[in-house]
Amino acid sequence: MINNPGAILPESSDSGFIKCNNDEIAIPKNTPVTVLNGNGKRTYSAFINNSLSDITLVLEDKSKAAINKGIVLKPNGSFEITSINLYKGKVSVISAQNSRLSFVECSE
């Protein structure tokens, strides 16, 4: 679960959010899906598995997505991209079962 809001922006950072988009997507069984396109202005994002099965998060194009070959989000699990681990490229997902993923992306 996301429980470290202090990690979003370190005290020494002067960056912030100007715009945040919140959404949820359906992930069809064994079908790679692009969650976020590359965004050079991304400052934060979070991903929450709202399913009863694992979702694999891949910091790549969906063509590279493979089950269990990336960041595995367990049911009710989450992953954050913050100023500490900032990644601005494509984010994709895949799951062995029909699943749902909630996410937010914030930009400067």
Give the global pTM: 0.86
- Determine the pLDDT at residue 9: 46
Asked, for residue 9, whether it belongs to a domain, the answer is: no
Q: Output the pLDDT for position 65.
A: 97
pLDDT at 8: 47
Residue 48 is assigned to a structural domain of this protein? yes
Q: What is the pLDDT of residue 18?
A: 83
In a domain, 12, yes or no: no
Is residue 78 in some structural domain? yes
Q: What are phi and psi of 92, to 5 degrees?
A: -130, 165
Rounded to a whole number of angstroms, the CA Rg of the chain reads 14
- Report the CATH number at residue 98: 2.60.120.770
Which string of b and e fits 85-107 if b means at least 16 CB within 10 Å?
eeeeebbbbbbeeebebebbbbb
Averaged pLDDT in 10-residue chunks for the chain of 108 residues: 50 65 98 98 97 98 98 98 96 99 96
What's the CA gap between 26 and 18, in Å, rounded?
A: 27
* Residue among 77, 83, 7, 1 nearest 93 (CA): 77
pLDDT at 15: 54
| Residues β-bridged to residue 49 | 101
Residue 3 lies in a domain: no
Q: In this predicted structure, what is the pLDDT of residue 17?
A: 72
